[in-house]
Structure 1
């Protein structure tokens, strides 16, 4: 039995929650993963997992074993990386996922700088607003907007971004300038955003002192933040975007901010990566570069 491969398969099954997902992540046939687990259980003389057609669960013995081998594997990864990276040039594949609005306005325009610094790193960029399961989908890190639920991921906040309520000059010339959220609700076209995962619409948020107003009555909605911004730029109505994604349009006058006294919401822009695995040099340099690059953009544009 290849004990190292068997332990790795066991840990990946626990991390992903199924043999199929573990096999996909490890790029092995499911039958091979199943045999590795069976061989490991036979070698130890103990059942590590309770398996059903839909899920797997650790036994008491499995939980104890997972805790111990997890520490051993992390130590082994640390030892390997310290030797390999002591004189290494960052190279290889980095798989990331970025919301469309941040990808198109901040990340992609800056990639010439990263490519000049690290030409041997291959970047594979997923662009979407949907939640991503990092381990199951073999994603190294993700960039996310907003307050995050409790998670096993490590979240590194880059900066706090502010919501901006905005519209095109042409729209405001034809429909007028709202001065309160109630005027917006009653007399304007509202462009909203809804979750690609749940289908739930996100309300427009307004706050002035202790007074809080939420408006959910959108006339047009998109589950893609870039699409929502395109609707606003096209003069279809008024919507909310994070300032970092529209700052260039505000500077050129393509968009005009409205209801500034009522728009006082901020949310963190964060980069997330699994807490359960040691970062490779190529992933670490990308995270460090992206954090520094976005903070520089934040300071330069006074977002």
Structure 2
């Protein structure tokens, strides 16, 4: 029995919650993963997992074993990384996921800089606003905007990005420019955003001193930030977009900010990665580069 492979398969089954997802993550047949687990249980003389057609659950013995081998595997990863990183420049493949609006405006245009620094690193970039299961999908890190739910992931907050209330000149030519948030309810078309994670629409939030106003009346909703921006640029309505994604449009006059006397909602822009995995050199240099790039290119509040 290849005990190292068997332990790795066992840990991945626990982390992903199923044999199928573990097999996909390890890029091996499900039958191979199943046999590795069976061989490990025979070797130990005990059952590690209770399996059903839909899920797996650790037995008491499995829980104890997982805790011990987890520390051993982390130690092996540390040893491997120390040797590899001392003898070679970072190389290999990184899988990342980035929101569409940030990908198109801030990340992709700067990748020539990263590629020049690290030509041996291959980037596989997913572009979406959807929730990503990092371990199950073998994604190394994700960039996300907004206050994050409780999670086992490690989050590195890069900066605070402020929502700007804005519309196109075409739209404002046909409507009275709002002076107070309440006027948005009177004859204005509002373009909103809803979370792909929760399905809940994000209200437009305004603050002036101690006064807070929320506007939830929307005419159009999108769960894609680039789609929402396209609607506003097209003159379909007025909405709130993060400053870093529209600063170019504001500078060129393609969008006009309104209600500037009211403070809009601000949210953290963060990089997330699994807490259970030791960062490889290639992932670490990418996270460090992206953090530095976004802080250099963004004029918002840095953390």
TM-score bin (small chain): over 0.9
1:198 CA displacement: 4.1
1:201 CA displacement: 2.0
Is 2:108 the counterpart of 1:101?
A: no
**Which secondary structure state, in structure 2, belongs to the residue aligned with residue 162 of structure 1?**
strand
Instruction: Give distance in 1, aligned partners of 2:67 and 2:24.
Output: 23
Question: Could you tell which deviates more after superposition, 206-215 or 66-75?
Answer: 206-215
**1:288 corresponds to:** 288
Deviations 1:259-289 (A, max 9, x none): 1222332110000011111111111111110
Change beyond 3 A, Cα 1:295–1:92: same
**2:31 corresponds to:** 31
Instruction: Give distance in 2, aligned partners of 1:264 and 1:201.
Output: 16
1:197 CA displacement: 4.1
1:53 CA displacement: 1.2
**Which secondary structure state, in structure 1, belongs to the residue aligned with residue 57 of structure 2?**
strand
**1:17 corresponds to:** 17
**Which secondary structure state, in structure 2, belongs to the residue aligned with residue 206 of structure 1?**
strand
Instruction: Give the gaps of 5 or more residues in structure 2.
Output: none
1:302 CA displacement: 8.1
Instruction: Give distance in 2, aligned partners of 1:185 and 1:114.
Output: 45
**Which secondary structure state, in structure 1, belongs to the residue aligned with residue 217 of structure 2?**
coil
**2:274 corresponds to:** 274
8 A Cα contact 1:208 1:264, kept in partner: no
Instruction: Give distance in 2, aligned partners of 1:173 and 1:23.
Output: 57
**Which secondary structure state, in structure 2, belongs to the residue aligned with residue 261 of structure 1?**
coil
**1:2 corresponds to:** 2
**Aligned length, in residue pairs:** 302
Instruction: Give distance in 1, aligned partners of 2:170 and 2:29.
Output: 58
Instruction: Give distance in 2, aligned partners of 1:60 and 1:251.
Output: 61
Deviations 1:9-34 (A, max 9, x none): 00000000111100110011111111
1:196 CA displacement: 3.0
Q: Which aligned pairs between 1:39-54 and structure 2 lie closer than 5 A?
A: 39-54=39-54
**2:205 corresponds to:** 205
8 A Cα contact 1:194 1:223, kept in partner: yes
8 A Cα contact 2:160 2:267, kept in partner: yes
Deviations 1:164-223 (A, max 9, x none): 111112211220210111101122111111233443322212222222222222111112
**1:56 corresponds to:** 56
Instruction: Give distance in 1, aligned partners of 2:257 and 2:222.
Output: 20
Q: Which aligned pairs between 1:67-216 and structure 2 lie closer than 5 A?
A: 67-216=67-216
1:87 CA displacement: 2.4
Deviations 1:98-149 (A, max 9, x none): 0001101110111111111111111110000100000100100000001111
**Which secondary structure state, in structure 2, belongs to the residue aligned with residue 260 of structure 1?**
coil
Question: Could you tell which deviates more after superposition, 135-144 or 81-90?
Answer: 81-90
8 A Cα contact 2:96 2:123, kept in partner: yes
**Which secondary structure state, in structure 2, belongs to the residue aligned with residue 137 of structure 1?**
coil
**Which secondary structure state, in structure 1, belongs to the residue aligned with residue 298 of structure 2?**
helix
| TM-score between both structures, scaled by the size of structure 2 | 0.96
8 A Cα contact 2:161 2:301, kept in partner: no
8 A Cα contact 2:15 2:135, kept in partner: yes
Instruction: Give the gaps of 5 or more residues in structure 1.
Output: none
Instruction: Give distance in 2, aligned partners of 1:152 and 1:283.
Output: 18
Deviations 1:8-64 (A, max 9, x none): 000000000111100110011111111111111111111111111111111111111
**1:217 corresponds to:** 217
**1:238 corresponds to:** 238
8 A Cα contact 2:168 2:256, kept in partner: yes
1:256 CA displacement: 1.2
